[in-house]
Chains A and B, each alone.
Chain A
Amino acid sequence: MQPSIDMDNLNLNIRSARKAVEELKRLGENFPAVARNAERMLASLKMIEINVSDFLWAPAEAGTHKKSREGKTA
């Protein structure tokens, strides 16, 4: 028998985590070590959303991809 899982509570926490990390990324605009690590955290968060939030169909993210101008150029 599978233990019960509180998906709504999981999703609530995912939403607040996304909000916090997006804010970190914004604050790190002039702080590459913060911005790039926040970007990676957002990718990990997206995986949790795929596993949890998509099931509830309550997309936690505002946009699916956000461009960052820092870093390499074409």
Chain B
Amino acid sequence: MNYHQPYWNPILETLPPEALRQLQLKKFQRIFRWAYTHSKFHRALYRSAGIAPEDIRTPEDIRRVPTVEKAMMRQVQGKDPYPYGDALCVPLDDVTVFRQTSGTTGQPVYQPDTWQDWEWWAECWCYILWSQGYRPSDRVFIPFGYNVFVAFWAGHYAAEKLGCEVVPGGVLDTKARILKIQELRANAMMGTPTYLLGMAETARLKMGIDPSRLGVDKITCAGECGASIPSTKRRLEEAWGAKVYDHAGATEIGAWSYECAAQPGGLHVNEAMFLVEIIDPETGETIEAPGRRGKMVITAFDRQAQPCVRFDSKDVIEWSGEPCPCGRSFRVIRGGVVGRADDITKVKGVLLAPSAIEEVVRGIKGLGDEYEVVVDKTGDAETIRLRVEVLPEAQDQCTFIQSELQDQLRLKTNLRYDLEICGCGTLPRYEVKAKRFKDLRSKKTE
């Protein structure tokens, strides 16, 4: 086998755009018919909108198909066939694995998968890992608590499928995981940016180990958008001495995008497996032009047990107009997932994306990796309190750092912040997804 082949699928990943659009239409027709035929939930939704499989003839017809939101899935679930309800498209006997969403935005959603769906999850991850240079000679350490969350499960199975040697770092604590990487000379890793930064800090400050000398040469991130935020990516790459790649996926969708080894400043959408539409939240129109942000509506073409057809993910993305030097024709979303529609909030009349604050904090030398943002309201006045940690070696530069931080925040977000400088190690640390943004205004209104 030719391990120098740069593409997992040399045909689909380089397909001319017009052929790709035709393939997507046919694949959409197939999954739409599947959902319509096998799921009572989807059939009722489509009938109420007056649309049936034979009505999907052109890409424009796809836009008439009603979107599905997470809240709708929550309503369907908990009923028979228990616990998935009417969106289940296969007999319960054919479900081989259960997962659930993390519940970051509310009550978790259950996700059933057949064995074929699970093969498909791993297949999507194979596109990711192959493009990032994973090959059978790699020993991949996965420091993640294997549980009901999909997280890196599919990454694990995909790495095995590629022929890598996988080391599951399940129940080990952070120190034990670092020692295991050292002992086995693992050279690749997967994790959330938050956890991997914390892991590097533990190695450095608590174990006297320089993580950049452990021999890890590539890291695949997921779960948070950090690895697409330039300052966070830079910190991760410096801390570990490794190339850091982002990918975006979700429990109810699949692993739909990936950063290739060329690191083009964004993520390729796997357009052979998914249809990504960017919708203007104000007008509802589809955005095809590069550089205009909108929310993502996504379809997974080959997922069967609980299909994902025009799912309104609330992720905020924009197309890049630049071709990627890697030669893939799959379009790139610039800067990865830049936020979530329900995370972007208006403060003092200005739209604020938490990722913009992270970009500033992690871009300032002397500040630690952790931060916390609290938006509050006193009378009519809204305030933003930003808590950051100054590293021990930068304590004598506190005034300068504070001034630089305030200037950069104003420049990047057009807002003024009440800054609180904390001692190193005082802010909360997170194992998986971090919760650094707190909006106390809604609690006061309730």
Contacts and interface: CB of A to CB of B under 8 A. Distances in A.
Interface of A: 2-3, 5, 7, 39-40, 42-44, 46-47, 50-52, 54-55, 57, 64-65, 67-69, 71-74
B11 A73 contact: no
Contacts of A43: 114-116, 118-119
B5 to A, nearest CB: 8
B103 interface: no
B341 interface: no
Contacts of B91: 67
Contact of A7 (B11, B118, B302): B11
Contacts of B34: 64
Contacts of B131: none
Interface of B: 2, 9-12, 14-15, 23, 26-27, 30, 34, 81-82, 89-94, 114-116, 118-120, 123, 272-273, 302, 304
B389 to A, nearest CB: 46
B268 to A, nearest CB: 16
A54 B93 contact: no
Contacts of A55: 11-12, 15, 23
Given A43-B115, A46-B119, A55-B23, A69 B304 contact: no
Given A42-B116, A43-B119, A74 B92 contact: yes
B57 to A, nearest CB: 16
Contacts, number: 65
Nearest to B116: A43
A5 B10 contact: yes
A55 to B, nearest CB: 6
A9 B97 CA distance: 34
Given A43-B116, A43-B119, A67 B94 contact: yes
Contacts of B272: 50, 54
B333 to A, nearest CB: 22
B302 A50 contact: yes
Nearest to B93: A71
Q: Which 6 A-B pairs have the closest CB atoms?
A: A43-B116, A74-B92, A43-B119, A47-B123, A43-B115, A67-B91
Contacts of B30: 64
Contacts of B9: 51
A5 B302 CA distance: 24
A53 B118 CA distance: 20
Contact of B10 (A2, A39, A69, A72): A2
Contacts of B90: 65, 67
B93 A46 contact: no
B114 A65 contact: yes
Given A5-B10, A50-B302, A54-B23, A69 B120 contact: no
A72 B26 CA distance: 34
Contacts of B92: 74
B12 A51 contact: yes
A68 B120 contact: no
B95 to A, nearest CB: 9
Contact of B11 (A5, A39, A44, A64): A5
Contacts of A52: 11
A54 B116 contact: no
A2 B12 CA distance: 13
Contacts of A71: 93
Given A46-B119, A47-B119, A51-B9, A65 B27 contact: no
Contact of A57 (B12, B26, B115, B302): B26
A58 to B, nearest CB: 11
Contacts of A5: 10-11
A32 B45 CA distance: 39
A52 B30 CA distance: 16
Nearest to A42: B116
9 contacts: A40-B115, A46-B120, A47-B120, A51-B12, A54-B23, A54-B272, A68-B93, A68-B94, A74-B82
B10 A65 contact: no
A39 B15 CA distance: 31
Given A55-B15, A65-B89, 12 more contacts: A2-B14, A3-B2, A43-B114, A43-B115, A46-B119, A50-B272, A51-B12, A54-B23, A54-B272, A64-B34, A67-B93, A74-B93
A68 B115 CA distance: 12
A50 B120 contact: yes
Contacts of A51: 9, 11-12, 123
